[in-house]
Amino acid sequence: MSNKRFENQVAVVTGAGRGIGEAIAKRLAAEGAKIAVVSRTEANSAKVAEAINALAPDTAKPYAVDVADFDAVQKAGDQILADFGRCDILVNNAGITRDTLAMRMSSEDWDLVLQTNLKGAFNFTRAVLRAMVKQRSGRIINISSVSGLMGLAGQANYAASKAGLIGMTKSIAREIASRGITVNVVAPGFIETDMTSVLNEEVRKGALAQIPVSRFGAVDDIASAVAFLSSAEAGYISGQVLAVDGGMSM
């Protein structure tokens, strides 16, 4: 028997041009899935698709789309379904931060973060859900954050978007549980990527002090959790939040 858990499956990974999404896309590809590599910037999705295809030819295709744009996402979803013929796994990973204290937060920064992180996940779910329902199988994994579980100062917009993902996940999980589709959340803690590299030494020290396992996470820590929830073994798990945060939110 093959040890590739995702052979003959198609995975859509948003925000796969860098960081956590790139690691998830590469992990699912290494385990046999064909990958729609979605990011905002064409050069980033193209680079990751190329790297995947260098190891396994004709495995990945890049798509450049703003997840916050409902119409553009429906079109991208149709294109992905036309290109690959099906969608077995959707990982809503694209996300941004615009951190500042609520007192100073602009209306634009509130809207941009909510529209990208929360509505973006709805938009892509909407684009592929009908295909999953027809197949009577599917896995949707939404990438939230420890911030959505605990709140973090300076992240009212981001925490709201990430907490919102949890409610959305549970609602959709209930709607489609009987169709063989599971919907779950992975909530990363502090993971070393571009998003966190901008934080100053003081903030990093403060964060490290709150992590029981005493290290920042690696992108592969998240990819492993997503691969598990995407697999057949996780078929009896739905509507759950898996915190992958070194114990930070316990």
**Options 45, 158, 172, 193, the catalytic residue:** 158
145 binds ligand NDP (CB under 6 A): yes
**Least distance CB 8 / ligand NDP (angstroms):** 26
Q: Is 158 tagged catalytic?
A: yes
In the complex, minimum distance from the CB of residue 154 to ligand NDP, in angstroms, rounded to a whole number:
14
Give the span between the Cα atoms of 185 and 138, in whole angstroms.
14
Residues paired with residue 242 on neighbouring β-strands, in sequence order: 186
Q: What three-state secondary structure class fits 1?
A: coil
Query: How many angstroms separate the CA atoms of 199 and 100, rounded?
Result: 13
Size of the site for ligand NDP (CB under 6 A): 28
- 224 makes contact with ligand NDP (CB under 6 A): no
Q: Within 10 Å of residue 67's Cβ, how many Cβ atoms?
A: 28
For ligand NDP, give the closer residue by CB, 3 or 35. Answer: 35
Query: Counting beta carbons within 10 angstroms of the beta carbon of residue 165, is it exposed (0 to 12), middle (13 to 18) or buried (19 or more)?
Result: buried
19 touching ligand NDP, by CB under 6 A: yes
Compose the 189-218 pattern: x for residues touching ligand NDP by CB under 6 A, - for all others: -xx-xxxx----------------------
197 burial level (CB within 10 Å; 0-12, 13-18, 19+) = exposed
Bridge-based pairing state of the strands 241-244 and 181-188:
parallel
Tell the residue number behind the tokens 């709607």, with chain if given: 175
Closest CB 143 distance from ligand NDP, rounded Å: 5
Residues at the interface with ligand NDP (CB under 6 A) = 14-15, 17-21, 39-41, 44, 66-68, 93-96, 116, 143, 145, 188, 190-191, 193-196
What residues act catalytically?
A: 158
